[in-house]
Amino acid sequence: MSHDEDSCNSSGNRTFAEVVQAASSRRSFLTGTVGLAAATFIAPSLGQTLTLTQNNGLGSRNVGETRLRKGRINFSPVPVSEGSGPMPSISSDYEYQVLIPWGTPLQSGIAEYTGDPNTRPSAADQERMVGVGHDGMHFFPFDGKNKEGILAINHEFGRNSHVLGKSAPEDDEDIRLSQAAHGVAMVHIRRSMQGWKVVVDSPYNRRITPNTPVLFSGPARGTPLLAPESGAKGTVNNCSSGFTPWGTYLTCEENFNGYFGDSQGSWTPTEEQERYGFSPEGFGYGWETHTTDRRFDLGSAEHPNEDNRFGWVVEIDPMAPDQPPVKRTALGRFKHEGVAIVEGKDGRIVAYMGDDQRFDYIYKFVSARNWQEMRAEGLSPLDQGRLYVARFNEDGTGEWLWLTINDPVLAARFNSQAEVLTYARVAADLLGATPMDRPEWTTVAPNGDVYCTLTNNSRREEPNPANPLTPNEDGHIIRWRDKGQHVGKRFTWDIFSIAQDTHAEGDERTFSDPDGLWVDPGGRMFIQTDGGQMKGLNNQMLVCSVYDEGGSQNLDIKRLFTGVTGDEITGLTTTPDRRTMFINTQHPGNGDPLASNFPAEPDGVTIPRDSTIVITRKGGGVVGS
Ligand code: FEO
Ligand code: CA
Ligand code: CA
């Protein structure tokens, strides 16, 4: 989504810059045999044994070896000429099924909301249905099976015009409906001869909304910043996601600021609130006008810390539906896009994270110790560790700057580590982090390289080495390799792809605004887009190889799927065998039935509904091949 338009960063870290040599030419570290030991990868499978699998031997940069082992990509791409309009298109080698559109019941006794423009679900029904704004996902298979499991899915946002059919809520019921459409769903799904279906009334089916009780853990827990914690509720604007090797889902709170407002005109922002983008009107949801629940009213004296309770990474156990979500404060508070977890040196858990706003930062968290030892002692690896923010240097090196109260610069500004984490953006400003062009998803490739989408920044006037375009209308993908198997303070980096390099006339590869990103164990990179595409295309999902060399001009990118008018393509997970992939069309038609009626056939009336799209290769095969 694009509520991240404005910069909240006035720290002036945009400096390094005069400098810009096409950083994309700096590819030498990718072609040699740089000795990064094989990273260990977390298999996208829990349920069974939560095994961590080795990375298919791709740790070495021996070119011949990687060529032998890289995954093939030889499907027929969707041509530009077929990638527009109110219905999706998919490669002729593939097929898709629509699953869990907004309004799908998770319990019996309530009717599906099918997009009738004259009605909307009740708030009570919506709390037992699939929400809106489908985004980050993870499939948790039962016993490693490819046919059954829990699909965890984020419901990032739904505009009032879409969810309520009006521009602003008129009563508390409207606000409750809007809130119930947000959050997270855990959906038990099973494949039969007729395709994938929801297991209605499964005990694993669950909705988590802005009104679900939550807990806090880590350094900010029990501090005045979050007090009083008893009765704390909710998660909101759940954008992308991650998952842990111990089988839990991580949902990331992105544009939380927009759900707050000032109903009385009595609120004066603090410096920290300004840095996080709070404003009297928010994004216009009107939640602050609720007559009895004043949590989202910035001027409410009863709820002085409600704003600090959002902007975290939240852990949810899909197999324990009675357990409350836990906000892991050690990972810092910012506009969390997503989180990519990898096991680093000594078995430490490493989390790479982007803060999606113009001129904001890339972060990583490293657990204090080996994650299995910590868990054996009853500790969460996500509660103790170090949070770093990235600085990209001109010479292709970079540094992870530790956000610690022991740093004299931070000690002069903050009173505790809890404050450093709660106001991580302010701390990162003070340490001189590199302002980026809206960091979205991160992913770790089989050889340990880390990639991050920088979706665009039309307001960049001053370049820095990692963000060389002024303005950057179409975005790029940056790549780095951490020294010390993900736990060190140094890295090398280059630019993997610049989207505008694909726009030449006749170039079928064209894409803009990269957002969702995943590299599979065969080195296939899946790029999902969110923004205005060139040549009349709808948003799309493309596939290329991370082993392609020679700069983005030469990347062999193929288009696997295009969405529908007005949507974005986001969310990505697979079954363990990778023969079934789940992605989402978010806000099809921007909620306007005149633009799209998806998943209904075009009729000009039905309200379009966010949906999951299940992708399989005709005749079988790994998706992307
Ligand atoms: Fe929720 Fe930055 O996308
Ligand atoms: Ca986006
Ligand atoms: Ca996104």
Instruction: Write the pLDDT tens digit of every residue in 231-244.
Output: 999 999 999 999 99
- Residue showing tokens 């032998």: 68
From CA 612, how far away is CA 600, in angstroms rounded? 14
pLDDT of 63:
34
pLDDT of 610:
98
**Tokens coding 529:** 């887009």
pLDDT of 7:
72
Q: What is the mean pLDDT of residues 531-557?
A: 89
Of 303, 305, 298, which Cα lies nearest the Cα of 333? 305
In this structure, of 69-78, 122-131, 250-259, 544-553, the range with the lowest mean pLDDT score is 544-553
Ligand 1 atom closest to residue 4's alpha carbon, by position in its atom list: 2
Reduced to 3 states (helix: H, G, I; strand: E, B; else coil), residue 564 is: coil
CA distances in angstroms from 374 to 346, 348, 371, 384, 575, listed in the order given? 12, 10, 5, 9, 29
What is the whole-number distance in angstroms between the Cα of residue 108 and the centre of ligand 2? 35
CA distances in angstroms from 218 to 239, 382, 413, listed in the order given? 22, 8, 21
18 burial type by CB count under 10 A (0-12 exposed, 13-18 middle, 19+ buried): exposed
pLDDT of 554:
76
In this structure, of 49-58, 386-395, 438-447, the range with the lowest mean pLDDT score is 49-58
What is the whole-number distance in angstroms between the Cα of residue 525 and the centre of ligand 2? 18
Q: What is the mean pLDDT of residues 469-474?
A: 98
User: Which tens digit of pLDDT belongs to each residue from 103-129?
Assistant: 999 999 999 999 999 999 999 999 999
Residue 310 pLDDT > 80, yes or no? yes
pLDDT of 548:
78
**Tokens coding 507:** 């170039």
pLDDT of 35:
25
User: Which amino acid is residue 2, in one-letter code?
Assistant: S
> H or E segment at 172?
helix 172-181
From CA 173, how far away is CA 183, in angstroms rounded? 17
From CA 300, how far away is CA 306, in angstroms rounded? 10
pLDDT of 62:
34
Q: In what order do the strands lie in the sheet with 611-617?
A: 94-99, 611-617, 581-586, 568-574
Higher pLDDT, 419 or 34: 419
**Tokens coding 320:** 């324990």
pLDDT of 22:
34
Residue 31 pLDDT > 90, yes or no? no
Q: Is the peptide bond before 88 cis (omega within 30 degrees of 0)?
A: no
Ligand 1 atom closest to residue 356's alpha carbon, by position in its atom list: 2
pLDDT of 321:
97
Q: What is the mean pLDDT of residues 575-593?
A: 98
Ligand 1 atom closest to residue 455's alpha carbon, by position in its atom list: 2
User: Which tens digit of pLDDT belongs to each residue from 272-296?
Assistant: 999 999 999 999 999 999 999 999 9
CA angle 88, 131, 455 (to 5 degrees): 55
Residue length of the chain: 625
Phi, psi of 431 (to 5 degrees): -85, -5
Instruction: Answer whether 160's CB lies under 8 Å from 204's CB.
Output: no
Q: What region does 608 belong to: left with phi over 0, alpha with psi -120 to 50, or beta?
A: beta
| DSSP structure class, residue 377 | T
* pLDDT level of residue 70 (50, 70, 90 thresholds): confident
What is the whole-number distance in angstroms between the Cα of residue 82 and the centre of ligand 2? 23
Q: Under CATH, what is the fold of the domain 2-254+311-617?
A: Neuraminidase (2.120.10)
Ligand nearest to the CA of 539: 2
* pLDDT level of residue 553 (50, 70, 90 thresholds): confident
Ligand nearest to the CA of 254: 1
Residue 52 pLDDT > 70, yes or no? no
Ligand nearest to the CA of 357: 1
pLDDT of 20:
31
pLDDT of 85:
96
Instruction: Answer whether 400's CB lies under 8 Å from 488's CB.
Output: yes
Q: In 66-80, which positions are buried (b, 16+ CB within 10 angstroms) versus exposed (e)?
A: beeebbebebebbeb
Residues lining ligand 1, CB < 6 A? 1, 4, 156, 239, 254, 337, 356, 440
User: Which tens digit of pLDDT belongs to each residue from 137-171?
Assistant: 999 999 889 999 999 999 999 999 999 999 999 99
Predicted TM-score (pTM) above 0.85? yes
**Tokens coding 251:** 């949902």
What is the whole-number distance in angstroms between the Cα of residue 62 and the centre of ligand 3? 34
What is the whole-number distance in angstroms between the Cα of residue 394 and the centre of ligand 1? 28
* pLDDT level of residue 550 (50, 70, 90 thresholds): low
Share the mean pLDDT of the chain.
90
User: Which amino acid is residue 349, in one-letter code?
Assistant: I
User: Which tens digit of pLDDT belongs to each residue from 1-29?
Assistant: 555 556 778 776 633 333 233 343 333 33
Ligand 1 atom closest to residue 135's alpha carbon, by position in its atom list: 1
Domain ranges for the chain, please list them: 2-254+311-617
pLDDT of 6:
63
Q: What is the mean pLDDT of residues 565-588?
A: 98
pLDDT of 69:
58
Ligand 1 atom closest to residue 240's alpha carbon, by position in its atom list: 1
| SS3 readout for 246-290 | CCCEEEEECCHHHHCECCCCCCCCCHHHHHCCCCCCCCCCCHHHC
Torsion of CA 43, 44, 47, 52, to 10 degrees: 10
* DSSP, residue by residue, 444-487: E-TTS-EEEEE--BTT--S-BTTB--SSBSS-EEEEEEETTTTT
User: Which amino acid is residue 333, in one-letter code?
Assistant: R
Closest residue (by CA) to atom 1 of ligand 1?
A: 239
pLDDT of 71:
85
User: Which tens digit of pLDDT belongs to each residue from 382-407?
Assistant: 999 999 999 999 999 999 999 999 99
pLDDT of 28:
33
In this structure, of 26-35, 385-394, 424-433, the range with the lowest mean pLDDT score is 26-35
pLDDT of 43:
28
pLDDT of 19:
29
pLDDT of 46:
25
